[in-house]
Amino acid sequence: MKPSFSCLFFLLLRLLLFCFLHCVASSTARQRDLLNKFYFNNGAERSSSSSWARSLLSISDLESKAYDNSGLKEGDKVVRLPGQPKGVHFDQYAGYVTVDRANGRALFYYFVEAAENSGSKPIVLWLNGGPGCSSLGYGAMEELGPFRVMSDGKTLYRNPYAWNEVANVLFLESPAGVGFSYSNTTSDYATSGDRRTAIDALVFLVNWFERFPEYKGRDLFITGESYAGHYVPQLAHAILHHKDRLINLKGIAIGNAVIDEETSNKGLLDYYWTHAFLADETIVAIHKFCNFSPGAQLQPPECNRAIAEANHVFTEVNVYNIYAPLCFSSGVTPTPKLPSIENFDPCTSNYVEAYLNNPKVQKALHANVTKLNYTWSGCSKVIQGWSDQPSTMLPIIHELLSNGIRVLKYSGDLDGRVPVTSTRYSLNKLKLKVKVPWRAWMLNNEVGGYTVVYDHNLTFATVRGAGHSVPSYQPARALEMIKSFLQGLHLPVILRN
Amino acid sequence: MKPSFSCLFFLLLRLLLFCFLHCVASSTARQRDLLNKFYFNNGAERSSSSSWARSLLSISDLESKAYDNSGLKEGDKVVRLPGQPKGVHFDQYAGYVTVDRANGRALFYYFVEAAENSGSKPIVLWLNGGPGCSSLGYGAMEELGPFRVMSDGKTLYRNPYAWNEVANVLFLESPAGVGFSYSNTTSDYATSGDRRTAIDALVFLVNWFERFPEYKGRDLFITGESYAGHYVPQLAHAILHHKDRLINLKGIAIGNAVIDEETSNKGLLDYYWTHAFLADETIVAIHKFCNFSPGAQLQPPECNRAIAEANHVFTEVNVYNIYAPLCFSSGVTPTPKLPSIENFDPCTSNYVEAYLNNPKVQKALHANVTKLNYTWSGCSKVIQGWSDQPSTMLPIIHELLSNGIRVLKYSGDLDGRVPVTSTRYSLNKLKLKVKVPWRAWMLNNEVGGYTVVYDHNLTFATVRGAGHSVPSYQPARALEMIKSFLQGLHLPVILRN
């Protein structure tokens, strides 16, 4: 077997699983560039989840990282975002929380209080994945935040399905090097990884609660998508093991989330075949010749050839929503186009990038106060390596369930990046009993998706017609789903006749 | 096993395969009614395709059914359709062709000449399925015709992707009892079936060419969708066996077409599972306990229970496009809504029904001249039975290929009614060699779908993002596909880099 084949196989498999999940949503050209040039993670430590968890427990100096945050809250208040529409009746805050004073690591957050009764509503922390992509740029400005950016890159419009209808929502750009978050110790960017991402996020939360003490003890839900399938359970695990900090974690929700390497790869290729993007002979070869177990090394040439065939799909369609149109422009429009919350604009990332690089916007957000020597971008251009990533999150998810943490795993069913097939295969590995059988859930007399509840309070839900970033493509369904989850209710049903 | 279970199984299996494929596109309520009340075909003869074909050959009196059509063409000319937009530069004809003088059976057609150079362009005959649905109402007014009906049910707008951009298109309402087509011998409606449908369509063509003699010898392509997967190859077969009529048949194209019972049923259930509409345990039971072979009779209760579970999908979503919105209104709007050719209006059938029941429209079309005692409807309300239907079309398709007839089998990949899975399973049964391997085909730099060419000139093509009626949901891709097919070209490619 030629060495080039085995190299290709590993490159492709890892691309299939990890590569910067959000950077490439806006054009095929960019997707192809990425596929050709970028996979930063060749040297990552591939530990099992349980050994990863043990080493995470060795955060002995957490107390020393609880800095003085008193009085900083008011300085973080966002008076008004440039281009913001009238009639905003909730408070917004944004700014930096130092997570490592010695190295000068500080994480940027954007906090949106609930539109009504914020004092009695839970906190939802939202994390985007990547690794390396921004919760401000994606989560807040393209998905579930209160505003979306118009095509002029200057004006905002209201998202009527924002999650601050039901919660106080905290967007965190994580780890340092993502978005406006930074480290004064540049070498930190070369040593990013799951472990430090979780520790820094925990330190962030501890300090954030000091800055917003009225939220201490409030119900907390950690949510996110894509590679945040690692971040979210890992942070939840870290919180559980530092109960002394009195963070009132109730549940986690992860969407189109990477949680298990073996099933992600197999599920992705099966998804392409069952959605008629692959030849029969390609999937037959994959099933016959490829070994997806995390320990597998050399693959026969028949497997490599089939994977190379499958890789064409990535270069041809928007894998984050396999039926969505592509974006063929690279900038913004001189005048704003009439936006539609129901039809997601495939060029949205362009508008967000323009907006967040506007100095007036940065000033309003208290962002970039140290004058970073790079521009804001949706996915990090400074993080160059990723030092550790467990091959599966399933043991941690099991641990969370055993500790009474509610888990929602949801899946936009048009995503080809972390498809619903992968998620179902992953969850099946948990071998949990079905508590409430599979059924449709409904919104406005339409099927919002399908759902099943497993023992220990694990809910799986699909969101029908949604891509990778579910609230971008199906905002009403996403809001309905998270609302039910926060309230501890089953997703809505109608009776069949 | 309780008798009710085996009844249920057969009812459901037949529903899955045949039930009036088009009647139910506009509301879930109507779909549910249909599922509960209607399957007209319990007594149908289930012959094999080859025995069916032999009996078809016994049309000995074809010559006696070539009636005098001279001079009738000009009377069929449609001067102007009510509500028609300005700037129409092609000719339209509509009227009746008698196919059985003794019984008074007459079929209604609508013929649209090519927008340019009609004299050198082929004829495309279009047939909708059902059995029992109208090519005028669906094919012409919702899919590939030059006009679509606005939401007021009165005004027409141009379809820029009409197939008369590339061909002279002939829509036939078939068999008698469908749309405006009728029989003066009411008992004919109780004895409809595949065989007489093909014979009457052949007689129609023979007479139509007498009425339009300038089209004699012109390249002819027979196209259609859904249950026309039976009609189209059967008519092609009948033409082949009456070469004396000098009909210049070049090819057939069938979309989301029923061609093989066994694979249709299996493919449909697999499609629902792989698209996350069914529980894992449901598909496991189906694969383990159900026998889809045409001869199978009794099924174990485990199979029946699983099929009943799968049946819920039919009551919950629009199975003709599993991600499309439903229609929640039953009529037309007082003023026309701004139409969008790109976003198919789920209530279109309402508008078409209102338009075609307008006496002025009927007069302009020379329709309903005998004053039928029922209104025009998208799918027949008078056909009460279906006497014969072979379980597979594969032998006929093989015969056509062997006789040099080009075959295009295409599939909108969002159709849950006759899904792409079923079609792929069906074609695999032909065991043809791959001549041009699976690849994407392109339009406007986007993937229009995927395609593979088999030996003997059988092309399979998917249309990405299209439901059951492909030109409704992806009109530009549908036009590109049929254009390539008519010209005998492969679907367009871009080079990969």
- Helix (H) or strand (E) run with residue A168 in it: strand A168-173
Nearest CA in chain B to A416: B275
Structure tokens at A390: 């467990």
Interface of B with A in 360-389 (CB under 8 A): none
Of the listed ranges A97-101, A134-138, B63-67, the least confidently predicted one is B63-67
Q: What is the mean pLDDT of residues B233-248?
A: 92
A274·B278 Cβ contact <8 A:
no
Query: Model ipTM?
Result: 0.91
Q: Is A226 a catalytic residue?
A: yes
B464·A323 Cβ contact <8 A:
yes
Return d(Cα B337, Cα B355) in angstroms, integer.
15
Tell me if B232 is assigned to some domain.
yes
pLDDT digits (tens, 9 = 90+) for A306-362: 999 999 988 899 999 999 999 999 999 999 999 999 999 999 999 999 999 999 999
Q: How confident is the model at residue A18 (pLDDT cuts 50, 70, 90)?
A: very low
Other Cβ atoms less than 10 A from the Cβ of A186: the count is 13
> Both A113 and A144 in a single domain?
yes
Tell me if A10 is assigned to some domain.
yes
State how far Cα A358 lies from the chain centre: 24
> Both A245 and A150 in a single domain?
yes
Say if residue B224's pLDDT is above 80: yes
Domain of residue B365: give its range. 49-261+339-386+390-434
Contact B258, B227 (CB under 8 A): yes
Q: Which of B268, B259, B194 is nearest to B16 (CA)?
A: B268
Tell me if B411 is assigned to some domain.
yes
pLDDT (0 to 100) of residue B32? 33
pLDDT over 90 percentage in chain B: 81
Residues in A closer than 8 angstroms to B32, CB to CB, are 497
Say if residue A98's pLDDT is above 50: yes
pLDDT digits (tens, 9 = 90+) for B256-278: 999 999 999 999 999 999 999 99
B275·A438 Cβ contact <8 A:
no
B282·A28 Cβ contact <8 A:
no
Q: Which of B49, B118, B183, B226 is catalytic?
A: B226
Sign of CA dihedral B277, B280, B285, B288: positive
Q: What is the mean pLDDT of residues A161-180?
A: 98
Collapsing DSSP states into helix, strand and coil, what is residue A158? strand
pLDDT digits (tens, 9 = 90+) for A445-495: 999 999 999 999 999 999 999 999 999 999 999 999 999 999 999 999 975
Say if residue B49's pLDDT is above 80: no
Nearest to B496 among A275, A312, A434 (CB): A312
Q: How confident is the model at residue A42 (pLDDT cuts 50, 70, 90)?
A: very low
Structure tokens at A150: 């118009």
Q: Is A120 a catalytic residue?
A: no
Specify the residue for token string 């949503």.
A25
**CB burial readout A209-230, b (16+ within 10 A) else e:** bbbbeebeebbbbbbbbbbbbb
pLDDT (0 to 100) of residue B50? 62
pLDDT (0 to 100) of residue B57? 52
> Both A53 and A153 in a single domain?
yes
Say if residue A54's pLDDT is above 90: no
pLDDT (0 to 100) of residue B75? 97
Q: How distant is the Cα of A439 from the closest Cα of chain B, in angstroms? A: 8
Tell me if A77 is assigned to some domain.
yes
Q: How confident is the model at residue A385 (pLDDT cuts 50, 70, 90)?
A: confident
B445·A411 Cβ contact <8 A:
no
Tell me if A244 is assigned to some domain.
yes
Q: Which of A104, A108, A82, A100 is nearest to A170 (CA)?
A: A108
Say if residue A162's pLDDT is above 60: yes
CATH of the domain at B115: 3.40.50.1820
pLDDT (0 to 100) of residue B58? 56
> Both A97 and A188 in a single domain?
yes
> Both A98 and A193 in a single domain?
yes
A274·B434 Cβ contact <8 A:
no
Structure tokens at A8: 């290709």
Say if residue B174's pLDDT is above 60: yes
Q: What is the dihedral of CA A414, A420, A421, A427, to 10 degrees?
A: 180
Return d(Cα B286, Cα B280) in angstroms, integer.
10
Q: B216 Cβ partners below 8 Å, 6+ apart?
A: B209, B246
Q: Which of A45, A280, A399, A464 is nearest to B421 (CA)?
A: A280
Sign of CA dihedral B356, B108, B28, B147: negative
Say if residue A369's pLDDT is above 60: yes
Total domains in the fold of chain B: 1
pLDDT (0 to 100) of residue B243? 84
Return d(Cα A356, Cα A108) in angstroms, integer.
13
Interface of A with B in 430-469 (CB under 8 A): 434, 437-440, 445-447, 450, 452, 462, 464-465
> Both A283 and A378 in a single domain?
no
Q: What is the mean pLDDT of residues A266-278?
A: 97
pLDDT (0 to 100) of residue B297? 73
Of the listed ranges A406-420, B29-43, B218-232, B236-250, the least confidently predicted one is B29-43
Contact B171, B140 (CB under 8 A): yes
Residues in B closer than 8 angstroms to A440, CB to CB, are 312, 316
More confident residue, B37 or B15: B15
Q: Which of B316, B326, B301, B310 is nearest to B274 (CA)?
A: B310
Tell me if A153 is assigned to some domain.
yes
Q: How confident is the model at residue B135 (pLDDT cuts 50, 70, 90)?
A: very high
Return d(Cα B178, Cα B107) in angstroms, integer.
9
pLDDT (0 to 100) of residue A45? 55
Q: Is B226 a catalytic residue?
A: yes
Nearest CA in chain B to A434: B281
Say if residue A234's pLDDT is above 60: yes
pLDDT (0 to 100) of residue A52? 67
Tell me if A268 is assigned to some domain.
no
Tell me if A201 is assigned to some domain.
yes
Return d(Cα A330, Cα A336) in angstroms, integer.
15
Say if residue B35's pLDDT is above 90: no
A32·B497 Cβ contact <8 A:
yes
pLDDT (0 to 100) of residue A48? 61
Q: How confident is the model at residue B27 (pLDDT cuts 50, 70, 90)?
A: very low
Return d(Cα A156, Cα A190) in angstroms, integer.
35
Substitution target in B323, B409, B431, B497 with the highest count of A β-carbons within 10 Å is B323
> Both A234 and A303 in a single domain?
no
Return d(Cα B219, Cα B217) in angstroms, integer.
6
Collapsing DSSP states into helix, strand and coil, what is residue B246? coil
Return d(Cα A472, Cα A345) in angstroms, integer.
9
Contact A109, A208 (CB under 8 A): yes
> Both A34 and A93 in a single domain?
no
Q: How confident is the model at residue B25 (pLDDT cuts 50, 70, 90)?
A: very low
